[in-house]
Amino acid sequence: MSPFVIAVLVASNLGLIFLLMRVPLGLRTVRLSRVVAADRQRLWQALWPLGKDAGWSGEILDARALDEAGLVAVTLSWEGRDGRPIERKAILGDVVPGRSFSMRVLEDTALDVSFWADYRETVELADEVAGGTRVTLGRTDRYRGLAFLIYRYFATRRELAKLQHWVVSGRYSRGGWFEHPLSQIGFAVLSALILWPFFGLNSGGLALAAILTSAVALHELGHMAAFRLMGHNRARMIFIPLLGGIAIGGRPYDSRFEVAFVALMGAGFSAFLVPPLIAASALAGGEGHRLAAALLATLAGFVALFNIANLMPVWKFDGGQVLRQICPGPVVLALASFSLLSGLLALGWRAGFSSGFLLAAGAIFAVLSLLTVGSGVKPRHELKPIGAVDRLAIAAALLAVFAIHGYGVLWASARLVA
């Protein structure tokens, strides 16, 4: 790719990350309404947390009033870090029985109370002249970045659609089209098509775009495997065109070891694939299958390069996640981050990247770190500490993964660039 194309791709990604994660939006309200073919009182019993049908979606397992001022305790079906249902305390206000109410969350057992400081939700029910009831849901919060605002919009939209389906069928249908495997395959294909022009609008460029997308999928598959090994009942992958993918577990993290293990397994899983790909490429080349050898070498190089780039000591990158869990203090963390960054830059120089490119890459990763620092959601309680043996084990695994992917990058650059 030309320097101009690389600059456009990088600028697009940085700009998109800023819009999704950092742009200050202030206090915003997502407000959607839909006419549902049901009696207003029936819908009140479903949407009022203390109603007889409050568990219509399976989200609320139990709800009880704690006092006459509107304080309620709600048990949710979502798993907490200990595997038990999350419990939440909320206060109900502006109640007009059968018509409207508001709710503020005071605390829950999963997230820090600061997460709920500005959150407020409202429900309004109004009879329609033509029949049915107009249900209006409002979700107000303070947002930094478009990502969570977009999520709240689609979550509210889905809740209304699910409510309509429940009214008609009497059953709640879990999931939706967005997380369906076929939809994610479609997003992966879309991601490859978006990347295609950057590699050249020809068959070779399409192959490179598909190979890079496959490297992303394999990386996220490693995170998903780690979630399951850590006891999560489910794990899923969400493809985000152009930006890559995200693996999501079934519950919050429980310990620092779990955070480090899951983060490292993205690159760790793919590290098991690099040596077989190198061997298969050499075998195909020895048998005279040059195209197959080149494709396998390219896949090995892309897998190695993508995964080792994710080991950058950036706040939300896997390398930064791992180091923050295993380093006992800020001084050790700074030294470890500098050492890892130096190793990555030295590897890039040895692979043939120019000094200017490496300096630009360092600056880009520094900007990424600033954009993503502190963007995580703080848990209610501190994660379980990591032991000395576990620190050493994760550190040794990090060095092994770095060595394997580093060798893959050097091998592929020698074969493909020469």
Q: What is the dihedral of CA 405, 407, 412, 417, to 10 degrees?
A: 120
Q: For residues 99 and 47, give the distance between their C-alpha atoms in angstroms, rounded to a whole number.
A: 10
Domain ranges of the chain: 26-169, 252-416
Residue-wise DSSP of 143-207: EESHHHHHHHHHHHHHHHHHHHHHHHHSSPPP--TTTSHHHHHHHHHHHHHHHHHHH-SSHHHHH
Residue corresponding to tokens 């997502």: 30
pLDDT attached to residue 316:
77
CA–CA dist 87, 56 (Å, integer): 18
Q: Which pTM does this prediction carry?
A: 0.85
Radius of gyration of the chain from Cα atoms?
Answer: 25
Q: How far apart are CA 140 and CA 157, in angstroms?
A: 14
Write phi, then psi, for 15 (nearest 5 degrees): -65, -40
The pLDDT of residue 238: 86
What are the beta bridge partners of residue 63? 74
Structure confidence at residue 23 (pLDDT): 86
Amino acid at position 317, single letter: F
**Class of the CATH-defined domain 26-169:** alpha beta
What pLDDT score does 82 carry?
83
> Would you state the pLDDT for residue 217?
92
Q: Digits of tens for pLDDT over the chain (418 positions)?
A: 555 666 666 677 777 778 888 888 999 999 999 999 999 999 999 999 999 999 999 899 999 999 888 999 999 998 888 888 999 999 999 999 999 999 999 999 999 999 999 999 999 999 998 889 999 999 999 998 898 899 899 999 999 999 999 998 888 877 777 777 788 888 889 988 988 887 888 988 999 999 999 999 999 999 999 999 999 988 988 888 777 788 989 899 999 999 999 999 999 999 999 999 999 999 999 888 989 999 999 999 999 999 998 998 887 789 999 999 999 888 999 899 889 988 998 998 888 877 777 777 777 777 777 666 666 678 888 899 999 999 999 999 999 999 999 999 999 998 877 5
